[in-house]
Structure 1
Amino acid sequence: MAQSYAQIVVDVPTQQTNRPYTYDVPDELAAQVQPGVRVLVAFGHRSVLGYVVGLTEALPEDLTEAQVKDVLTVLDERPVLSSELLELAHDLAKKNFSFWVAFLALMLPTALKASYRKELTAKAGLSDSDRVAYLDGQKQVLVKMKAFSAKGWRAIRNLQKNGLLDVRTVVENQGKVKTELAYKTNADLEVLQKIDNELSKGAKQQRRLLNFAMAHPGQTFSKKDWQAQLDCSLASLNTAVNKGILEKVQVEVKRRPAIMGAKALSGSLQGQKKVLNDEQQAAYDRVTSAIEKGQNKVFLLEGITGSGKTEVYLQAAQKAIDRGEQVLFLVPEIALTPQMQRRVEERFGDKTALLHSGLSSGERYDEWRRIHDGQVQVVVGARSAVFAPLDRLGLIIVDEEHESSYSQSENPHYSARDVALFRANYHQAPVVLGSATPSLESRARAQKGVYELLTLTKRANPEASLPQVDIVDMRQVQLDRGDTNFSQELLDKLKAHLKRGEQAVLMLNRRGFSSFVMCRDCGYVPRDPNCNLAMTLHMDSRTLKCHYCDYQEPIPRICPACGSNRIRYYGTGTEKVETELQALLPDYPVIRLDQDTTRRKGAMGKALSDFGEKKAQILLGTQMVAKGLDFPDVTLVGVLNADTGLGLPDFRASEKTFQLLTQVAGRAGRAKAQGEVVIQTFNPEHYALKYAEKHDYEGFYRQEMAIRHAAEFPPYYYTIQIQCSSPDENRVSLQTAKIAAWLKKRLPKDVLLLGPSPRSIAKMKGRFFFQMILKMKKQNEADELLRDLVDRSQKADQDFRLEVRRDPVSFM
């Protein structure tokens, strides 16, 4: 038998270890070590988790047998990563200037990621004080890395060096199956007959249990099932165990994410298949033709709000499922997954799985295992669901494809939309990118013929029409009525719609009570020490909070700068608007949706369910109320301040504002009643608002593209953001300037370098940020140079960090 070697990527995320290492596969593990399994290997002086990415019979030329270590153990019975996902991880790491192992870990549920602990064992001579300090007075303990400070670990290493303490790394597998107690009937009918003969006439409960056991020999039922079917007590079950009728066993319980149970949640939407109109049918025919031919085509489904894009998705998905293939259905936010999950489950039943970050680690692990075991036909989820272990992909749907939440901004960086395109190409399956307001990049590709454009120009409900949009100039309102969140026009419409028993959605894209607090005497504004940003006031918790690092402190009553008591609130947030609504319309309860009210698991579902059942007629929230919601009785939408995103230092600010306004306006008038939209703004002449008023995506697209062309921004140029950070502002400023000079000497002449400059939010979580932007015509023109830069950055001081982001969704 030929000697076998494994190529293993170790769980040590540094640039120096960003490659596979060769390990010897012992004969006894030969059958278990396969590409895609997790293993335990020795690396340096410790044991670490590793991912097998390949097998070879030949030893690399630069290694000898003596240098190659053995694989210690295999953690999986079968591969947890397919050859497709292994290839994808390598491609993403290369493309996004990141670590291979970071993407391998990202593709697995948290339960399958390594948990490292240290086993500390006292040796002869260890003092009682050290035993108490580091081992809690015991002989041996298992501790997490965060159990001690850096100073504590230095002391532990000194004790180890002096032979007083033994320190060993233990890698724990967190993937645990949930079990519960159940009772299994005796499979031996002769034994059961014997027990029957010996039972006394008075043992009626035992007789019933025995008769049931004889009718179901060798079968297992949960305690709940026994009690429901036979109405027997726990004591009776335990007596039956003692008599030999039953046996106690542990059975696995699959943790399934609960979906919102209220029928009103999906509004007028039912699980049955609907008749498509001519535009929907044409889009459906093009997509299903590609499914049947196994074509890797990308379709951009541009449909106005309420045009029935979801029904096209579902019927196309059914076609793929009928062919024995699987469907991946991506939505941009957790907020949208419950509604979409309900619609998919109504259509496809229990063959649906849900994956998003709002699940508990146990639920996510069990859903992942259902998919991995091939028990699932459709996966619905947010960004990370794009890595679901599906092996027969026949269709990928990316709903609201323009959303920036499809891009992961923290390391490792990736775009779920790009990953979807990779996977579709691998499986030779079509992709449908759907949106009422496609990103300029996608729309430009459709115009060039790279994607096929499918359009839906009318609402699916023939009785529904696009709502009438009115723009209100808040500059005049402020002069007439003073500081208020409600123009008279919006207030009058709100009262009229509510009086008729209809519902309203109000959006203000800022949570909290007020934007900031300021002293009226000296102008002092309390700022967060970690980010140097003005903190937002939250009246419900009576605190000032930073929404970036979650630092909070009590609301000051006296100005710490000048001692004045004239501390006042400025600006507004959803919490303040809720208070104002309660004063203006006391007879109408309000449901508020923002990050503060939906932190608790299931809170979002409960709130939407209550709104669907009309427990409240007003739904107030941040941008999470703008997308995906379909309630037939919503006839009025009010945007309290359309300017919150327009003033941001971001070249996509106008595009994002137009998309958000168009999306939220689309919540109104989705049934028979005519919808109305009121947009309040201090910039009534801005082109993004003018085009949103007319529901004119094509007009906005043409004007914004002209601006992007003049400014040399995407989609005419590819961009790369190089971001440097450090706790020391002077050091990061100097180092970034040196990097800029180094790059300017080496970059191709046609690559533009902007910066360096401080990031718009220059300090966050105690770190100072500087950035540079590269603009280029060819996508991969500077890749080799940037990889060299990332390699060099590994040798910098520990406090200095460099990140390279391809095609960032924001430069803020």
Structure 2
Amino acid sequence: MPFFVDVILPLPIPKLFTYLVTEQEYDFIQPGIRIVVPFGNKKKYAALSYCTHQNKPPYEAKSIEYIIDQQAVVSPRQLKLWEWISNYYMSPLGSVFRTAVPSILLLESETELHFHNTPSDGIKLSTGAAQLLNTLEQYGKLNLSDVVKLELSKSPYKLAQELLNHDLIHVREEVYTKFKPKQQKQLALASSYSPDHALRGLLAKIDRYPKQRETLLQLIQQKTSIQKSEFLRMSGVSKSAVETLIKKGILDQQTIVVDRLTAKTEAETPLQALTSSQRQALDSLHKDIKNTNRFLLHGVTASGKTEVYMHLIQEVIQQGKQVLFLVPEIALTTQIIQRLYVHFGKSMAVYHSRYTPSERVEVWNKVLVQEPSAQLIVGARSAVLLPYSNLGLIIVDESHEVAYKQFESNPRYHARDVAVILAGLHQAKIVLGSASPSIESSHNSRTGKYNLVEIKERYRGFSMPEIKLIDLKVSQKKRQMNGHFSQTLIDAISKTIDAEEQVILFQNRRGFSSFVNCTTCGHVPQCPSCDVSLTYHKQNKKLKCHYCGYHVLSHAHCVACGTAHPKPMGLGTQQIEAEIQQLFPHARVGRMDSDTTKGKHGHRDLINRFAQHDLDILVGTQMLTKGLDFGRVTLVGVVLADGLLNFQDFRAHERAFQMLLQVSGRAGRKDRMGRVLIQTYDNNHLVLQQLKKYDYDSMFLVQLKQREEFGYPPFVRLTRFELRHKNFSVLQEAANWFSHALHNQFSQVLGPQSPPVGRIRNQFLMQILLKLPASQSAAPAKEQLIRICKRFEQIPAFRSVKLAIDIDPI
């Protein structure tokens, strides 16, 4: 009787594929092992085994190529989590697999070109094909990426096909393992020279070789083996002498496998004692009154939530279980890592996208086998997808943040919600922490889904910063403005710097200005591929599109009418930085946005400079609002709050309150009194008045009432369908068909309509919004949606239209 294995391919395909295996392979294979399988005519992929069985599929099953792993690289609970993500977010299981696993483990075959024959006299080849064949004859084989790198051709497929037609080359598909453990060369004195008499004899023997003797003496002083590269950097060490000593057998050189991530060697520092309010919160986190093991920790800014987290972490680690500490932004990991490292450095690992693929694989493997050095995992969104097997606690810090949502590609998951499911699979405690919880989380705490724990005072009773609203209309009438800064804010900055304290200035838009406008003809430079104006970046004098990356040098004259010096309009962080440097030429000013924090350690370096008081003023975007702790910051200035309040989104007021509350919380976090100055044209706005009083409950109740009245979460579930196509007429026809199909099955359908940016990368966009009652099961609705999507894909005219489904869009 034949044996089969069902596998998950790392492709956006909604089903499993069945392959033939031998009886020996059948007995060996377990779920979560990678297997190389053929797919299509030539391609090979490293698929993931799902289950083995003896049920013959309705098609002729191909045999597997070979098994990669001796043990599973994905845990059983992780596979269950993937299935939930796939079902809930209506994303193919293969897409979940591709998102969850580090890219270096996602092997797929490379097309190799092998030299076969020289052409006969009658064969005429194109210049490019002849050049490629000559190179293949020299090298023997090349893969297609090598052909491009060697600049032989930008389209190697065409040349390869020409050579294949004349039987001059062979084509093969080969799979190569990409991950290689990091290795180091270590040097030590050969064991035969360990006895004192042998060492004395050796020194006497090489006395006539001064460089060798000096190098040897330097090694003997190390007492233990030393890394070769480090030893070669020491003074008095000669590279040629080292190589000679190795050849003579005097030095022993060994290659060892080492971690890419350096381990802590110092002793762990004990935790600080908690304040009474922190102790009460910790005690409440031990009492699962609602019997859900889910907690919402609502603590004001600087209330010491992290200290409470650390006491929980210590308890769980001592039980031998794993802990996941999620943060919304890589920027926030810098300070959190530094704080946690002091107490848990020997058992802590970090996982986020700025790490190299090899570093991520090492963390993945440590989590999989529950290494003691990876009991505590600190990471951004993707860390929720690691292969945990003994999870005891999940902490979601700043749980209200939209950065937990995956926007760009499938699966469009929300890490906070996935973490809740992951905790349930492990029967682990989950704590969602925030100073301004999302409306949905607060509603869940009031309806019994979460236990609510509150900390209503700052650490050690420090005062909340005073929030003052500056009316820009009045300042402009009184001519009390200097650029974009009111005199009140300028005076406050001056006093703060004079007192050797620090300032944070917040504006949630990067670049110098939003767009450039010709005051003569009104021309605004637009992105050729997107329906959006180009943002001006003064530093490199470029106009950039923040959607597709297109950029062009800014012209000194209007390209439409020739008028000199078109005027920058709007306000970005670069412009604020420039104005501040003019107003305070002696101040040390830094800027924190996605332009200044590129690179692996960009966030860390900038945050450390500010924390060490190498900067007086830090200008930044929303990166500054998320849990950063700077003891010298006593003034926070919001340059213009109105853009946050008037955004086209039903969550605009909630997000404005959260962002402004969070950035306000950066001031006065220690024993220094803090102040917050918010510049606005509408100082009577309800959200600003609620913020001024720190009245979260009022904001929550107002927003909840409006959402219930107009039918938005948490009272309904939203599903957004986004359709894309390069031809607007085809897109409109497809969107109308899809909308009509939804209207036939559901009562609350909005659209189709174009989003605020209706074209990105030469693809037109249309969106349709579906509302489903939160009280009803979503499963029947999703079954209907799957049927509609299948019918849509079968229409020939719409096959080139891209359809993306976003469950619970943000």
Instruction: State the TM-score, normalized to the length of structure 2.
Output: 0.90
TM-fit CA distance, 1:248 = 3.0
AA matched with 2:392: G
Q: Take 1:690 and 1:233, find their aligned partners in 2: how far apart are those partners? A: 71
Give how far 1:495 is off. 1.2
Residues 9 and 94 in structure 2, CA contact (< 8 A), matched pair in contact too: yes
Please say if 1:759 is aligned against 2:755: yes
SS at the partner of 1:453?
Answer: strand
Distance 1:450-1:488 versus aligned 2 partners, 3 A rule: same
* Equivalent in the alignment of 2:275: 277
What are the residue-to-residue correspondences of 1:738-777 with 2, within 5 Å? 738-745=737-744, 747-748=745-746, 751-777=747-773
Residue 807 (structure 1) aligns with: 808
Q: In the alignment, is residue 160 of structure 1 matched against residue 156 of structure 2?
A: no
Which one of 79, 83, 91 corresponds to residue 86 of structure 1? 79
1:575 corresponding residue in structure 2: 574
1:108 to 101, 105, 110: 101
Q: Is the 8 A contact 2:37 2:47 kept in 1?
A: no
- CA deviations over 1:425-482 (Å, ceiling 9, x no partner): 11101100000000000100000011000001000122x1101100111122233336
1:54 to 50, 68, 84: 50
Contact 2:144–2:156, Cα closer than 8 Å, also in 1:
no
Cα gap change, 1:794 to 1:503, in 2 (>3 Å)? same
Paired with 2:595 and 2:339, the residues of 1 have a C-alpha distance of 27
Question: Which of 7, 11, 34 is matched with 1:38 structurally?
Answer: 34
Q: What is the Cα deviation at residue 646 of structure 1?
A: 2.1
Residue aligning to 2:517: 518
Q: Normalising by structure 1, what TM-score?
A: 0.90
Q: 1:400 to 1:555 in 2, by over 3 A?
A: same
Q: What is the DSSP-based 3-state SS (H/G/I as helix, E as strand, rest coil) of the residue aligned with 2:558? A: coil
For residue 628 of structure 1, report the CA deviation from its aligned partner. 1.3
Counterpart contact for 1:467–1:675, Cα < 8 Å = yes
Structure 2 CA distance for partners of 1:324 and 1:331, relative to 1, 3 Å: same
SS in 2 for 1:144: helix
Q: What code does the residue aligned with 1:497 have?
A: T
Between 1:465-474 and 1:161-170, the stretch displaced more is 161-170
Letter in 1 for 2:805: V
Instruction: Determine the structure 1 residue equivalent to 2:253.
Output: 248
- Residues 569, 479 of structure 1: alpha-carbon distance in 2 compared, 3 angstrom cutoff: farther
User: What do the CA deviations read for 1:124-146 (whole angstroms, capped 9, x no partner)?
Assistant: 34755354454563233112399
Identity %: 32
| Residue aligned with 1:721, SS | strand
Q: Distance in 2 between matches of 1:596 and 1:207?
A: 49
What is aligned with 2:598? Answer: 599
2:323 alignment counterpart: 327
CA distances 1:344-402 after superposition (whole Å, capped 9, x unpaired): 11111221111111222233233333333422110001000111222211000000000
Q: Which runs of 5+ in 1 are unaligned?
A: 262-269
Q: Which residue number in structure 2 is paired with residue 119 of structure 1?
A: 112
1: CA distance between counterparts of 2:735 and 2:377?
43
- Distance verdict in 2 for CA 1:609–1:57, change over 3 Å: closer
CA 1:294 to 1:179, structure 2 compared with 1: closer, same or farther past 3 Å? farther
Q: In the TM superposition, what is the alpha-carbon distance from 1:108 to its structure 2 partner? A: 1.6
Measured at CA, do residues 200 and 586 of structure 1 come closer, stay the same or move farther in structure 2, by a change above 3 Å?
Answer: closer
Give the structure 1 partner of residue 68 of structure 2: 75
Q: State the shift of 1:415 in Å.
A: 0.9
For residue 519 of structure 1, report the CA deviation from its aligned partner: 1.0
> Cα RMSD (Å) of the superposition?
3.1
Q: CA deviation at 1:806?
A: 0.4
Q: For 1:193 and 1:39, how far apart are their aligned partners in 2?
A: 55
**Superposed counterparts of 1:503-652, under 5 Å:** 503-565=502-564, 567-652=566-651
Indicate how the Cα distance of structure 1 residues 615 and 26 shifts in structure 2: closer, same or farther if over 3 A, else same: same
Check the 8 A contact 1:635/1:673 in 2, yes or no.
Answer: yes
Amino acid at match of 1:331: V
Shift of 1:100: 0.9
Supply the distance in 1 between the matched residues of 2:220 and 2:29 (Cα, whole angstroms): 43
Paired amino acid for 1:44 = G
Q: How far apart, in 1, do the equivalents of 2:619 and 2:134 lie?
A: 51
Distance in 1 between the 2:134 and 2:682 partners?
64
Partner residue of 2:365? 369
Q: Which amino acid aligns with 1:803?
A: A
CA distance in 2, matches of 1:483, 1:194: 81
1:418 to 1:132, Cα distance in 2 relative to 1, 3 A: farther
| Alpha-carbon spacing, 1:241–1:437, altered in 2? closer, same or farther (3 Å) | same
The one-character-per-residue Cα deviations of 1:502-529 (angstroms, maximum 9, x if unpaired) are 1111101111111111111111110001
Q: Secondary structure at the match of 1:138?
A: helix
The one-letter code sitting in structure 2 at the alignment partner of 1:388 is: L
Shift of 1:249: 2.9
8 Å contact kept, 1:507–1:638? yes
2:352 is matched with: 356
Are 1:302 and 2:302 counterparts? no
Q: Secondary structure at the match of 2:279?
A: helix
Q: Which amino acid aligns with 1:171?
A: V
Q: What does 1:283-294 align with in structure 2 at a 5 Å threshold?
A: 283-288=281-286
Please say if residues 116 and 167 of structure 2, whose CA atoms lie closer than 8 Å, have aligned partners that are also in contact.
Answer: yes
CA shift digits 1:525-560 (9 cap, x unpaired): 100011121111111010111111111111122222
- 2:433 match: secondary structure: strand
Greater Cα shift, 127-136 or 646-655: 127-136
Quick one: distance in 2 between partners of 1:258 and 1:212? 24
Question: Residue 383 of structure 2 aligns with which residue?
Answer: 385
Which deviates further from its counterpart, 771-780 or 128-137?
Answer: 128-137
- CA apart distance, 1:296: 5.5
- Mapped to 1, the partners of 2:71 and 2:358 lie a distance apart of 20
Moved more, 562-571 or 80-89: 562-571
Counterparts of residues 218-233 of structure 1 (less than 5 Å): 221-224=226-229, 233=238
Unaligned runs of 5+ in 2: none
Q: Tell me the equivalent position of 2:449.
A: 450
Q: How far 1:206 sits from its partner (Å)?
A: 6.5
Following TM superposition, by how much is the alpha carbon of 1:91 offset from its aligned partner in structure 2, in angstroms? 1.9
Decide whether the 8 Å contact of 1:578 with 1:590 is kept in 2: yes
User: What is aligned with 2:717?
Assistant: 718
Matches within 5 A, 1:694-705: 694-705=693-704
Shift of residue 170 of structure 1? 2.5
1:742 deviation in Å?
1.8
The secondary structure found in structure 1 opposite 2:30 is: coil
TM superposition shift of 1:277: 2.5
Question: Aligned partner of 1:423: which letter?
Answer: L
One-letter amino acid of the structure 2 residue matched with residue 95 of structure 1: Y
Letter of the 2:592 counterpart: L
CA change 1:301–1:584 in 2 (3 A) is same
Instruction: Give distance in 2, aligned partners of 1:228 and 1:297.
Output: 54
Asked if 2 retains the 8 angstrom alpha-carbon contact of 1:379 and 1:388, the reply is: no
- 1:220 is displaced (CA, Å) by 5.8
C-alpha distance 712-154 of structure 1, shift in aligned 2 (>3 A)? same
Partner residue in 2 for 1:169: 173
CA shift in 2, pair 1:759/1:136, >3 Å: farther
Distance 2:339 2:402 in 1: 24
Q: Which position in structure 2 is the counterpart of 1:495?
A: 494
Cα offsets for 1:596-647 (capped at 9, x unmatched): 1111332221222111121221111111111211111111110001122222
Task: Tell me, yes or no, if the aligned pair for 2:128 and 2:153 is still in contact at 8 Å.
Answer: no
Aligned to 2:470: 472
Alignment length (residue pairs): 784
Superposition deviation, residue 213 in structure 1: 9.1
CA contact (8 A) 2:322 2:392 kept: yes
Please identify, of 401-410 and 78-87, the stretch whose mean Cα deviation from structure 2 is larger: 78-87
1:48, 1:115 → 2: CA distance?
6
Q: In 2 relative to 1, CA 590–61 (structure 1 residues): closer, same or farther, beyond 3 Å? A: closer
Q: Which amino acid counterpart does residue 142 of structure 1 have in structure 2?
A: N
Distance apart, 1:669 and its partner CA? 1.0
Aligned counterparts of 2:484 and 2:190: Cα–Cα separation in 1: 71
> Does the aligned pair in 2 maintain the 1:196–1:210 contact within 8 Å?
no
Report the counterpart of residue 421 of structure 1 in structure 2: 420
Partner-residue secondary structure (3-state), 1:491: helix
Q: Which letter maps to 1:182?
A: Q
Residue in structure 2 matched with residue 709 of structure 1 by the alignment? 708
Q: Distance in 2 between matches of 1:779 and 1:638?
A: 46
* 8 Å CA contact 2:39, 2:45 repeated in 1: no
1:141 partner amino acid: L
